[in-house]
Structure 1
Amino acid sequence: GYGEAFGHGLGHGVGLAIHERPRLGPNSKEQLVNDMVFTIEPGIYLTGWGGVRIEDTVVMESGKIRVISRARKI
């Protein structure tokens, strides 16, 4: 897989500032709770080629994640 090319966090909270808590990643200990808005943005970066990142904005509702971004993925 591309695990070694994934050198950043998985996402972050969104609020008054674009980058807020929680910070999402493999070492994150923060608990996601209802009404939190955050991003899920996996991406890879390959030396000599470039990178790609797909970002969705989501909200936690009733213990489940609902995608609220509307961008098409092509």
Structure 2
Amino acid sequence: MHSTGHGVGLDIHEEPRVSTRSTATLRPGHVVTVEPGVYLPELGGVRIEDTLLVTEGGCDRLTLAPKNPALV
């Protein structure tokens, strides 16, 4: 089972994990991904990823690529 996201730092997949099962606390300065997935039996799946910087007031989206549902 995939998590919803993960930390990014020296490694592309590291703590903190973004998951309903995670006990991690996101803190200002953490860089994490949010990458929900959609999987359809017999067809496959897709995950669209955004990279976020956790701030004191929430987060800043670092991903600059536009989202176009027609391309998915």
TM over 0.5: yes
Alpha-carbon RMSD across the aligned residues, in angstroms, is 0.9
Aligned-pair identity (%): 47
Unaligned runs of 5+ in 1: 1-6
**Structure 1 partner of 2:67:** 73
Structure 1 residue 50 displacement after superposition: 1.1
**Structure 2 partner of 1:55:** 49
**Structure 2 partner of 1:25:** 19
**Structure 2 partner of 1:40:** 34
**Structure 2 partner of 1:13:** 7
How many residues end up aligned between the 2 structures? 68
Deviation above 3 Å: which 4+ runs of structure 1?
Answer: none
What SS is found at the alignment partner of 2:29?
A: coil
Unaligned runs of 5+ in 2: none
TM-score with structure 1 length normalisation?
0.86
